[in-house]
Structure 1
Amino acid sequence: MAENAPAILWFRRDLRLGDHAALLTAAKSASRVLALYVLDDALLKPSGAPRTAFLSGCLRALDEQLSGRLLVVHGDPVRAVPEVAEAIGAGSVHVHADTAPYGRRRDQEVAAELGRRGVDWVETGSSYAITPGRVTKPDGEPYRVFTPFFRAWLRHGWPSPADTSASTVDWIDPDGLSGVDIPDAPDLGSMTLPEPGERAALAAWDHFRDEALPDYDNRRDRPDLDASSRLSPYLRWGCVHPRTLLAELGDEDEAFRAELAWREFHADVLWHRPETARRNYNTKFDAMKLETGPAARSAFEAWCQGRTGYPVVDAGMRQLLAEGWMHNRVRMIVASFLVKDLHLPWWWGARHFMRHLVDGDLASNQLNWQWVAGSGTDAAPYFRIFNPTTQGEKFDPQGDYVRRYVPELAGLSGKTVHQPWKAGPPDGYPAPVVEHAHERRVALERYGELSP
C-alpha cells in the first residue's frame, strides 16, 4: 500500500456512520476516505420492490449524512471496486465482512483482483455482534441447537460500540469520478414502509427501548399491540448495528437479547451450511410428501392473497402486502398453515416472503421457514402444528389485529372474529380452504413416514 494513499469504505449492509467498525479501521489507515456503494444486479434483481425501495431511501439518507459525498456505481463489484480504487489511487478497501453465500464468493474475487493491483483488502467485523463461524463447541464443531448456541454466544461476548460519525475521516468528494444517481424507489402503490436511514433507526430504537422494552417479554407475541421493536428492516440494512442495541440492554432484557441471538444463530447456521438457503437442513425431509399440482398452486394463491378463510392467517398475509412486514408470531402461524395445513413446499413461502418483506434476510428467512417446516435445526417438528383458530384467539384475544387487516370481518365483535363460519361468513369473505383437524392428521402421518 502506498504511503498516505487514500482508502475506500465500501458500504454494503452497513448503511450508517455510527458504531461502524470498518470506518474506524479505515480512519486508522488513511486520512482521506471515499464512501462507495455498488449497485449489484446479482443482489438487486432478486430483491422485491419493498426492499429495493427501502434501500433507495437508506442510500439517500446516508448520502445526506455525508453531505452528498457518497459515490454510487452500477455493475459487477469484481470489476467496479478495483476500477474505483485505481481511479483515486487507493491503497486499501475497507468493509464489514459479508457472511452470506453470495457475498463470501464475491468478496473473495474482489479481494483477489485488488491484490493483483496492489490494493489491500481489509475486513473488520460484520453485520452481527459476533461474526458467524466464531462461536463453536469446545471441539470446534458448530452448534446445531439454539439454546446452547445462545449460552456460548453470551459467554463469548462482543466489543463495545465503535465511536464513529461523519467527522471520523475526511471524506473524498466524488466529483469527477464516474458514478450513477441513486435509483428512484419503485412504485409501491398504497404500501407504507418505515422511514429509512440511520436517524430513523435510532429513533425507532429509542421509542422501543423507552416504551415497549420493559414489558417486551409479556407482550411480544401480541400482534394487536404495538409491542414489537420494528427494528428488523434497520438491522437488515445495517442502519443500526446489533452491538449498539446490546450495549443498552440490562439483565432484565433477556427476551429481547435472545431475539437478537436468534438472528445471529441463523447466520451462523448458514455460514456452516450455505446450501440450506435452498435445500433442507435435515436431508431426510427431502422425502417428505408435498402437494405441487394445480390445486396446490390454487391454494398457494389463496394463501398469498390472504383469502384462506382463516382470519389470523389472512390478516398476516394482508399485512405483508400492505406494509412489507409481518408480526413475528403471525409469521410462524402463516408458515405453519402453508406447510402443515396446505402441505406445500416451505421454499414457496420463503420465496414469497423474500419478494415482499422489507426486512427480507436470507439467513433469518430461510432458516425460520425450515424451523417451522421441521426440516431445520429444531429437533421436535411433529408437535408444532399451529391451530390457526386457537392461535388467533390466544394472541389476538379481542380480534383487533384481524379487523385491522380484514375489513370484511369488521362487523364481528371480540374473539368471534376468529371463527366467522359460526355466524355465517360475511359477504366477500371466503369459507376455510381446508379443515384444520383433518390436515393436522395428514401432516402427522407424512412426518411419521420419514425415516428416523
Structure 2
Amino acid sequence: MLSSVLVWFRRDLRDDDNTALDEALRRAQRVHCMFIFDREILDALPDPADRRVEFIRESLVELDSSLRARGGSLIVLHDFAADAIPRLACELGVAAVFTNRDYEPAAKKRDAAVEERLRSSGIAFEAFKDQAVFDGLEILTQSGRPHTIFTPYKKAWLKRLAEEELPARTIAGSGRLAGAPQATGIPTLATIGFTATNLAELGITPGMSGATQLVEDFRSRIHRYHQQRDFPGIKGVSYLSAHLRFGTISIRRLISLALEVGALRGEEGPATWLSELIWRDFYFMILDHFPHVTEHAFKPEFDALAWECGTPADALFAAWCNGETGYPLVDAAMKQLNRTGYMHNRLRMVTASFLTKDLGIDWRRGEACFAAHLTDFDLSANNGGWQWAASTGCDAQPYFRIFNPVTQSQRFDPQGRFIRRYLPELAHVPDKFIHAPWLMSSAEQAACGVCIGRDFPEPIVAHDEARKRALQRYSTVKRLPAQESPRG
C-alpha cells in the first residue's frame, strides 16, 4: 500500500469511472488531485477567446466541487507541466504520480520527461489506459502488427470485447482523498490570460453534468441514429464529442450504453453509433503506432502530391476558411465552425473534400484550421478525418472519389434548413436553387432578395473542372490513369 499518490488529471475531467483515480484510491492511503493549465500548450494558442479553455475551466469547477463533497479538492496550477508536476510531487511528498495515458506525440514526450525527473527524485510514475477501450498491443493483426484498415480492426475489437468484461470502474478503494494544502481554488480565465466565449450562448454545459444531460437526451434518439446522423439540419447525433475529448464522461459508459440498447443485437442505430466509437479507438491506435501522420501522409507516396500554393491558393484558402466559396453547404458549414466551434461530421467530410480535391490545397492547412476552431479538437480524429478525405491516410477513401458539393447538399440538406440557418442571405431562395443559387436568373435573384456576386459569392471554382484537375494530380502520384468514378 502506497502512503500517498498524486493524481494528475488531463483529458479525464471527472471523478466517476476514472482509471487513474480509481487505481490511486485502491492502492494508496492518501490521494491528492491536481490539474495543470500547461503553458506549453496554452501559450501557443493565438486567440484568448478559446472555447476549449473555457470548457476546461468550467469542467474543473464541477470536478473540484465533486471532489470536495467527498473530502478532497483539486490543486490547479498554471505552469509548465514538465517543471511543475515533479516540483509539486516533491512538495507533497507522494510516493507516485498516477495519470491516464495520452497518445499524442507531444504528450508522450512530455510524460517521458516528467517520468524521468520524478524517477530522479525517487517518485514513481504510472499511466493507465482510460480514454481508449483497447490500446497498445491489445488489437493486432494475425501477423502481430497494428491494423491499418478499419473493418478488420473493428472485427478484432468486437471479438476482444466479447471475450472480456467491459470494466465500468467505480471508486471502491480504501484510500482517502486529500484536501489541497492551501485553498487555491480554480483560477479565473483572466488569471491565465484568456477571456470568456459564447459557450453559454450556444447552450453548451461543460463538465460531468453537461455530459450526463446529453447522454440522457441521446438515449431517446439513439435508435434513429443510423437514419439521421448524416443530416445537419436535424438533431440526429449525440453532440458528446467535446465531452469525450475532455473526458467529462468515460468511453466505457458510452460503450455500455450502446450495448445496453442493442448494439450487438441487430439494433441499427446503436450498432452504427458503436462503430463510430470504435473509429475513435482506431484513430488513437494509428496516432500511437504511426506518429509520422502528424506531419506526413500515412501513405508516404502521397507526400509527393503537388498541392496548389502561392498567392492564388492563399486567396482560395481564405475564402474557404471564411465560408465564401459560393457553395452554400460548404459555406454554411464553415460559418457554423467559426461561430460555434462545432461542425457536423458529414460536413467535416464535405468541407475537407472541397478543400483538398476541388481547391487542391494541402490537407495540413485544413487540419490546422479545424484544430484552431473546433471545441472538440482531438489530434487523432482530426488528423485521421483529414487524411481520409484527402485520400492520403490509412483506410482512406479512394483518391478518385470526390464529393460533389451540390449533390451532397441536395442529399443531406434537401430543404436547405441547415444552409438557411447559417446563411440568412439565402433565406428566401427557393428549395430548387438553394444548393446552387448561381443558377437563378437575375429576375429570380431579385425576387428572393439576393444578388449572386454581391450578397453571396459566385462559386470560386467550377466543380467539374476542379474534379478533373484533382484526378490528374492524384493519378500522377499513383501512376495510374485518371479514371472516372460515380460522383459523390
TM-score, normalised via structure 2 length = 0.88
Query: Which position in structure 2 is the counterpart of 1:65?
Result: 66
Would you say 1:300 and 2:301 are equivalent positions?
no
> What SS class does the counterpart of residue 128 from structure 1 fall into?
coil
In the aligned structure 2, how far is the partner of 1:228 from the partner of 1:274?
30
Query: Which position in structure 1 is the counterpart of 2:484?
Result: none
- Cα shift at 1:46: 4.0
Query: Which position in structure 2 is the counterpart of 1:142?
Result: 146
Q: Which among 225, 228, 235 is matched to residue 219 of structure 1?
A: 228
Kept after mapping to 1: 8 A contact 2:316/2:460? yes
1:22-421 equivalences under 5 Å are 22-47=20-45, 49-67=50-68, 69-157=73-161, 159-164=166-171, 169-176=175-182, 181-184=187-190, 186-188=195-197, 192=202, 194-210=204-220, 212-249=221-258, 250=262, 251=264, 252=267, 253-378=270-395, 380-421=397-438
Kept after mapping to 1: 8 A contact 2:388/2:396? no
- Cα shift at 1:248: 1.7
Kept after mapping to 2: 8 A contact 1:60/1:182? no
Q: Judging changes above 3 Å, is the alpha-carbon distance between structure 1 residues 4 and 219 closer, same or farther for their aligned structure 2 residues?
A: closer
- Cα shift at 1:266: 0.9
Kept after mapping to 2: 8 A contact 1:133/1:268? no
Q: Which has the higher contact order (CA 8 A, sep 6+)?
A: 1
Q: Judging changes above 3 Å, is the alpha-carbon distance between structure 1 residues 4 and 421 closer, same or farther for their aligned structure 2 residues?
A: closer
2:280 counterpart letter in structure 1: R
Task: Map Cα deviations across residues 19-46 of structure 1 (whole Å, 9 max, x no partner).
Answer: 1111111011223211111121222234
Length, aligned pairs only: 448
- Cα shift at 1:322: 1.3
Identity of aligned residues (%): 36
In the aligned structure 2, how far is the partner of 1:307 from the partner of 1:443?
21
Q: Which among 419, 428, 443 is matched to residue 470 of structure 2?
A: 443
Q: Judging changes above 3 Å, is the alpha-carbon distance between structure 1 residues 4 and 284 closer, same or farther for their aligned structure 2 residues?
A: closer
Root-mean-square deviation (Å): 2.0
My pick for the range that moved more, 215-224 or 423-432, is 423-432
- Cα shift at 1:75: 2.1
- Cα shift at 1:168: 7.7
- Cα shift at 1:414: 2.5
Would you say 1:429 and 2:433 are equivalent positions?
no
Task: Map Cα deviations across residues 306-357 of structure 1 (whole Å, 9 max, x no partner).
Answer: 1110000001000001110000001100000000111001011000001000
In the aligned structure 2, how far is the partner of 1:381 from the partner of 1:440?
14
Q: Judging changes above 3 Å, is the alpha-carbon distance between structure 1 residues 209 and 168 closer, same or farther for their aligned structure 2 residues?
A: farther
Kept after mapping to 1: 8 A contact 2:18/2:130? no
Task: Map Cα deviations across residues 78-104 of structure 1 (whole Å, 9 max, x no partner).
Answer: 221121111111111111111211111
- Cα shift at 1:223: 0.5
Task: Map Cα deviations across residues 252-293 of structure 1 (whole Å, 9 max, x no partner).
Answer: 221000100111111111111111012111111111111111
Kept after mapping to 1: 8 A contact 2:388/2:397? no
In the aligned structure 2, how far is the partner of 1:100 from the partner of 1:385?
30
TM-score, normalised via structure 1 length = 0.94
Kept after mapping to 2: 8 A contact 1:92/1:119? yes
Q: Judging changes above 3 Å, is the alpha-carbon distance between structure 1 residues 215 and 132 closer, same or farther for their aligned structure 2 residues?
A: farther
Kept after mapping to 2: 8 A contact 1:132/1:267? no
- Cα shift at 1:177: 7.9
- Cα shift at 1:143: 0.6
| Structure 1: runs of 5+ lacking an equivalent | none
- Cα shift at 1:194: 1.8
| Structure 2: runs of 5+ lacking an equivalent | 480-488
Kept after mapping to 1: 8 A contact 2:208/2:248? yes
1:129 counterpart letter in structure 2: V
Query: Which position in structure 2 is the counterpart of 1:10?
Result: 8
My pick for the range that moved more, 304-313 or 282-291, is 282-291
> What SS class does the counterpart of residue 98 from structure 2 fall into?
strand
> What SS class does the counterpart of residue 138 from structure 1 fall into?
coil
Q: Judging changes above 3 Å, is the alpha-carbon distance between structure 1 residues 51 and 450 closer, same or farther for their aligned structure 2 residues?
A: same
